[in-house]
């Protein structure tokens, strides 16, 4: 299992703040995709209300950039959390989950994998939950 630090929070090899942020961004992207499927005649109005905040717009490329800025070990930990959240591994199998994630990451891009994984944000949240960590309790 993951090592524990002084306040009994497991050391997962990736900052919890980073995991929480990426989980929220992935969830927001998926929600945006769902909303695009339900667009109606108000589409033009909503686009006009957006103003000039195009630089602040959430895009898959932005999330990909954030994930790609992580070290290989942090990327492996992030994917391992998603694997645990999906039920491929248990929290007690943390080291094996990280090894499996690292092997998967060597074959293909971890950012693209997470972006293509349905419900990835929720899977990360479930992965954290397996360690007794609530995403709402993580300070950002």
Tell me if residue 33 falls in helix, strand or coil.
Answer: helix
d(CA 79, CA 127): 10
pLDDT tens digit sequence for 16-67: 999 999 999 999 999 887 666 555 445 444 444 444 444 468 999 999 999 9
Half-sphere exposure of 116 (CA within 13 A, CB side): 6
> What is the pTM (predicted TM-score) of this model?
0.81
Residue 50 pLDDT: 46
d(CA 50, CA 130): 38
CA distances (Å), 6 to each of 85, 92, 110, in order? 25, 19, 30
Residue 140 pLDDT: 83
Count of beta carbons in the 10 Å neighbourhood of residue 36: 9
Label residue 102 by pLDDT band (50, 70, 90): very high
Residue 77 pLDDT: 98
pLDDT tens digit sequence for 61-96: 999 999 999 999 999 999 999 999 999 999 999 999
Tell me the average pLDDT of the chain. 86
What is the domain count for the chain?
1
List alpha helices for 69-118, DSSP H. Answer: 72-86, 94-107, 110-116
Closest-CA residue to 120 (of 89, 92, 84, 70): 84
Label residue 100 by pLDDT band (50, 70, 90): very high
Is the distance from CB of 63 to CB of 25 less than 8 angstroms?
yes
Domain that holds residue 94: 3-137
């Amino acid at each position: 299992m993951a090592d524990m630090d002084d306040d009994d929070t497991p050391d997962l090899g990736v900052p919890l703040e980073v995991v929480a942020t990426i989980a929220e961004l992935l969830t927001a992207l998926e929600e945006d995709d769902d909303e695009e499927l339900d667009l109606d005649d108000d589409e033009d109005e909503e686009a006009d209300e957006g103003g000039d905040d195009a630089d602040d717009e959430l895009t898959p490329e932005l999330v990909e950039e954030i994930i790609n800025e992580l070290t290989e070990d942090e990327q492996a930990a992030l994917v391992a959390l998603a694997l645990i959240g999906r039920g491929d591994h248990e929290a007690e199998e943390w080291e094996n989950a990280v090894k499996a994630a690292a092997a998967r990451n060597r074959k293909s891009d971890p950012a693209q994998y997470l972006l293509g994984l349905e419900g990835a944000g929720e899977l990360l949240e479930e992965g954290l939950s397996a360690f007794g960590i609530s995403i709402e309790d993580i300070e950002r």
